[in-house]
Amino acid sequence: MRQSELLAIAADLFADRGYVATTVRDIADEAGILSGSLYHHFDSKESMIDEILSTFIDQTLSSYEGVIAEGKGPKETFEGLVCTSLESMVESRSAILIYQNEGRFLAAQPRFSYLTAAHRKFEKIWTDVLKKGVKSGEFRDSIDPKLVYRLVRDTVWTAPRWYRPGGSLKPEKIIEQYMAVLVEGVSSH
Amino acid sequence: MRQSELLAIAADLFADRGYVATTVRDIADEAGILSGSLYHHFDSKESMIDEILSTFIDQTLSSYEGVIAEGKGPKETFEGLVCTSLESMVESRSAILIYQNEGRFLAAQPRFSYLTAAHRKFEKIWTDVLKKGVKSGEFRDSIDPKLVYRLVRDTVWTAPRWYRPGGSLKPEKIIEQYMAVLVEGVSSH
DNA sequence: TCGTCAACCTAGCATTTGCTTGGTCAAGAG
DNA sequence: CTCTTGACCAAGCAAATGCTAGGTTGACGA
């Protein structure tokens, strides 16, 4: 399918230069076609980012639910959430960046109201795990679940900003270091 | 001075909507003047963001140097760096956001080469402290200074994304929680 | 009273932007 | 051989964008 190829190209450009700064001519150039030809595949520039974001949200949500479904304790579940978030950096790098950079602005439009809904679901999943960990004593009871959720989310979803796929810095190394700091950061001693 | 008022307006808009998405007419509207009148104060839209960013970098660098100059141990110095970074969120909220969101793209232009230079200075300051902490045994020797620097930097500089000045969530609360997680996250036990 | 000057306006130009319309072309089905 | 269809091109339009050139206004000092 040509559509998904074009979407991947668009996603990379949106992630690198920003959605507004990327023109439909930029995307077409990268694909080796003319800008008008894009409209054979998509209604509008907006529908491209729409597709990118909704796909990313579906994937993320189901990967989170998979971790929850394992039914492990709070600490291991927390580790699982951190791990899967960081792992998605490899395949969904540009989507994460777009979600982070353009999400807030787009969420104001009715078309992208699902962004706000997803945001709330993410928050509930993370804070639930954190609260359970505090109850079980595995996490310090001084932590504020909502605030720590934001900290962790921002931390794991900002790594794609400087992570370069195929670079010498391997994802495993990043995951190992980030997991250690974050888990130690919330655990009681 | 009218210039600084206009700069503050521009900074807020750049931070909220993005540099490219903000038009000179947006800025002028917010200031209650016409777009052409902006060019009585500034050479170009680009020179506005230039001024905003270089001011922010000067402030940040000198605040970091102030912390270093206190000559305390690695752990307390690290705490000081985290603290001053989070504190700057109140007065330099928009500048931090602009630096984070537009920095990478702008740094490619010769005019903004100072961004790359500043980035290197920031990295050196943070990693030096982390290395010293590892040597002294206060920080775990398993941590990778460069990676943990990125983690901490991204974490403290992403908070302005959702922090709302004047909101019910006080900066002190954020600083307390963030400091606890980050310091515990790198410390040895 | 006159001259100066910062701040702003009026009007518009050149370019870029997202998108449209009508057409071409090659591959595959019947 | 014809017909359909998916992928693309050619050409351009209306709106938006950064910026410019020349003029107006009101405060202030000499």
Give the A window 31-60 contacts with B, CB below 8 Å: none
Confidence of residue B1 (pLDDT cuts 50, 70, 90): low
Give yes or no for B173 touching A (CB within 8 A): yes
pLDDT tens digit sequence for B126-180: 999 999 999 999 999 999 999 999 999 999 999 999 999 989 999 999 999 999 9
Give the B window 140-169 contacts with A, CB below 8 Å: 140, 142-144, 147-148, 150-151, 154-155, 158-159, 161-162, 169
- End-to-end Cα spacing for chain A: 53
Determine phi and psi for A187, rounding to 5 degrees.
-70, 155
The C-alpha atoms of residue B164 and residue A12 are separated, in whole angstroms, by 30
Residues whose CB falls within 8 Å of the CB of residue A92, separated by 6 or more in sequence, listed in order = A56, A59, A60
Q: What is the pLDDT along chain A (189 residues), one digit of tens a residue?
A: 688 999 999 999 999 999 999 999 999 999 999 998 999 999 999 999 999 999 999 999 999 999 999 999 999 999 999 999 999 999 999 999 999 999 999 999 999 999 999 999 999 999 999 999 999 999 999 999 999 999 999 999 999 999 999 899 999 999 999 999 999 999 997
Token pair 């054979």 is at which residue?
Answer: A40
Residues whose CB falls within 8 Å of the CB of residue B107, separated by 6 or more in sequence, listed in order = B113, B115, B116, B119
Cβ atoms of A85 and A157 within 8 Å: the answer is yes
- The amino acid present at A138, given as its one-letter code, is E
C1' nearest to CA of B40: which nucleotide? C7
Q: Select from A119, A142, A120 the least CA-distant residue to A130.
A: A142
∠ CA B64-B68-B71, rounded to 5°: 160
CA distance B1 to chain A (A): 31
Residue B18 to residue A151, Cβ atoms within 8 A: no
Query: Is A35 exposed, middle or buried (CB count within 10 Å of its CB: 0-12, 13-18, 19+)?
Result: middle
Say how far B154 CA is from D17 C1', in Å.
Answer: 33
C1' nearest to CA of A28: which nucleotide? D8
CA atoms within 13 A of residue B77's CA, in its CB half-sphere: 23
Q: Select from B11, B125, B20 the least CA-distant residue to B77.
A: B125
Say how far A59 CA is from D7 C1', in Å.
Answer: 29
pLDDT tens digit sequence for B37-86: 999 999 999 999 999 999 999 999 999 999 999 999 999 999 999 999 99
